[in-house]
Amino acid sequence: MAATDVGIDLGTASILVYVRGKGVVLKEPSVVAYDRDTNKIKAIGEEARLMLGRTPGNIIAVRPMRKGVISDYTVTEQLLKYFIQKAIGKMSFRKPRVSICVPSSVTEVEKKAVEDATYQAGAREVHIIEEPIAAAIGAGIDISRPCGNMIVDIGGGTCDVAVISLDGIVVSASIKVAGDDFDDAIVKYVRKKYALMIGEQTAEEIKITIGTAFEKPEPKVMEVKGRDIVTGLPKTIHVTSEDTRDALKEVTGQIVDAVHNVLERTPPELAADVVDRGIVLTGGGALLSGLEELIEARTGINTMTAEDPMTAVAVGTGKFVELMAANGRSSEK
């Protein structure tokens, strides 16, 4: 019986699973809720995400991935096992071959932790792939050619910027600033300007609905509910897209600086290719309105977002397994 080939985008905010021949079959938050008294897992994924900030004392909802690396090994293993089984079904008799991505800056020790957790979760064979490579493959870029392609992958915990040529990363930078930091910045800004406490989920809602990185001709307004810091009572305010631009200025500035840094270190021939071909954005953070315009304004290089930025890394990770299979299944055990 043929083994299943699985590609996993093990993100700080979400886990996406790609199965060869089926495409992306799962996309759920990388959150686990467990009972602190019994150490038993209560919920995984979307069900656990809804528990964030709403659990009684003994039940804790945690994200086992922090800034792109494993912060809780045992919980990550359970998470992977759950998603692999859910994706391939329990009727699969042969263990799957799994390709899993990691940020370009991870250490060998962190890489080994991901590999071990994936083997423990039931994989027969594990291939580790760097996020920018997976993002480029998933965005439909032919990375095998000798020309420079710049990819900016903005996930939940990390932002990876890389120039890729001939199947490899030539220059890269990975910063621990991404989608989660957008949410944190909005929480802090609303607390400081409006003396209102809001949660992570509300901040994310603001970011998705009216969030922007670039000045808009017509600002949008959104009603936001939270807790007044002064009175301690529930309160409703109106937040504008200009507020979000102010709130996100520092975080988006760090992403632009990382792009600048990589461009400065890129060999001249490849830099010329990047100017011709443009910069491609992937990852959930790429969906922030105005980010393309901000990078373009600061670098002078045409910037575009991949067709489906959320799934680009998962698709690329899965296609990497297909490329391995097409090249003769050399590592088959």
pLDDT tens digits for range 42-83:
888 888 888 777 777 778 888 888 777 787 888 888 888 888
Find the length of the chain. 333
Q: Which two tokens stand for residue 205?
A: 């809602």
Residue closest to 135 by CA, chosen among 103, 91, 175, 178 = 103
pLDDT at 40: 84
Residue 115 lies in a domain: yes
* In contact, 128 and 102? CB cutoff 8 Å: yes
% of the chain beyond a pLDDT of 70: 94
Lowest pLDDT segment from 24-38, 225-239, 254-268, 280-294: 24-38
The bridge status of strand 125-130 relative to strand 97-102 is parallel
Q: Per-residue pLDDT for 105 more than 90?
A: no
- Tokens 């940020």 locate to 103
Q: Which two tokens stand for residue 243?
A: 């507020």
Q: Per-residue pLDDT for 331 more than 60?
A: no
Q: Which residue has the higher pLDDT, 69 or 208?
A: 208
Q: Of the spans 14-23, 49-58, 99-108, 250-259, which averages the highest pLDDT?
A: 250-259
Instruction: Identify the three-state secondary structure at position 17.
Output: strand
Residues 209 and 112 in one domain: no
> Structure pTM?
0.86
Q: Per-residue pLDDT for 135 more than 50?
A: yes
Calculate mean pLDDT across residues 164-180: 91
Residues 184 and 220 in one domain: yes
| Segments of 63-202 assigned E as strands | 65-66, 69-70, 97-102, 125-130, 149-154, 159-165, 168-175, 196-197
Q: Which of 247, 262, 288 is the last residue of a domain?
A: 247
pLDDT at 104: 80
Residues 146 and 288 in one domain: yes
Domain count for the chain: 3
Lowest pLDDT segment from 15-19, 104-108, 263-267, 269-273: 104-108
Lowest pLDDT segment from 226-235, 239-248, 285-294, 315-324: 315-324
pLDDT at 210: 95
What are the C-alpha distances in Å from 41 to residues 88, 134, 317?
A: 21, 31, 28
% of the chain beyond a pLDDT of 90: 49
Residue closest to 36 by CA, chosen among 60, 64, 65, 62 = 60
Q: Per-residue pLDDT for 202 more than 90?
A: yes
Residue 320 lies in a domain: yes
Residue 63 lies in a domain: no
pLDDT at 290: 94
Residue 10 lies in a domain: yes
Q: Per-residue pLDDT for 92 more than 80?
A: no
Calculate mean pLDDT across residues 237-243: 95
Residues 81 and 186 in one domain: no
Q: Per-residue pLDDT for 332 more than 50?
A: no
How many whole angstroms separate alpha carbon 230 and alpha carbon 107?
Answer: 45
Residues 169 and 289 in one domain: yes
Residue 196 lies in a domain: yes
pLDDT at 172: 93
> Mean pLDDT score of the chain, rounded to an integer?
88
Residues 255 and 278 in one domain: yes
Q: Which residue has the higher pLDDT, 122 or 133?
A: 133
Residues 106 and 23 in one domain: yes
CATH number at residue 188: 3.90.640.10
Residues 241 and 254 in one domain: no
Residue 53 lies in a domain: no
Q: Per-residue pLDDT for 295 more than 80?
A: yes
pLDDT at 329: 47
Residues 163 and 267 in one domain: yes
Q: Which residue has the higher pLDDT, 329 or 281?
A: 281
How many whole angstroms separate alpha carbon 41 and alpha carbon 59?
Answer: 9
Q: Per-residue pLDDT for 227 more than 70?
A: yes
- Tokens 């490849």 locate to 270
- Which residues, other chains included, contact 152 with Cβ-Cβ below 8 Å and sequence gap of 6+? 159, 160, 161, 255, 259, 279, 280, 281, 282, 286, 295
pLDDT band at 209 (very low <50, low <70, confident <90, very high): very high
Q: Which domain holds residue 225?
A: 179-247
CATH number at residue 124: 3.30.420.40
Residue 168 lies in a domain: yes
pLDDT at 330: 42
Residue 333 lies in a domain: no
